[in-house]
Amino acid sequence: MKKIDVGFDQLELIGQISDIHIRNFRRHHEYRVVFKTLYSDLKEQFKGKSSLICLTGDIAHAKLDMSPELVNIIAEFFTALAKLAHLIVIPGNHDANLANPSRLDVLTPIVKALNNPRIHYFKKSGAYKIADTTFVVMSIFDVPNRYLKASDVEGDTKIALY
């Protein structure tokens, strides 16, 4: 189990975001307007609480068809969320070409370039301990028979992410 230090011992609140499907270059103004509201709402909800954000897949829409605009808006999004709380990111089927697993997914180069210690990219299946909570990731890159079972993981609070 990989342990991740987030600066607190007890997790009080989790914000979960999924299936954003950001297009390559269309509607980015609309995304930014919605994201601004999201940041404001999360900031208010997280006030005074030990919190983190789980961004659970399908951030991009077009699998491996990426534009500079897409890279830019995803980088902005990740950075803004990580300012509010530690950010867990897991890939979805739209963030990679599952038919060709040798190809790099959309999110890896963005996370790597940001090099932000508050952004945690859980690309592989496994157990990740954050504060008093164990996150069990079932990655789209792995076959289901390799997923951990709840009984294989110690701890009182376990959250499965797929």
The residue assigned the tokens 């180069």 is: 109
Both tokens of 117, joined, read 């210690």
Condensed to tens digits (0 to 9), the pLDDT of residues 44-60 reads 999 999 999 999 999 99
Tens digit of each residue's pLDDT (9 = 90 or more) over 113-122: 999 999 999 9
159, with CB counted inside 10 A (0-12, 13-18, 19+), is middle
Q: Residues 80-112: pLDDT tens digits?
A: 999 999 999 999 999 888 888 778 899 999 999
What does DSSP assign to residue 142?
S
Q: Name the pTM for this structure.
A: 0.94
CA 44 to chain centre: 20
Name all domains of the chain by residue range, CATH numbers in brackets.
2-161 (3.60.21.10)
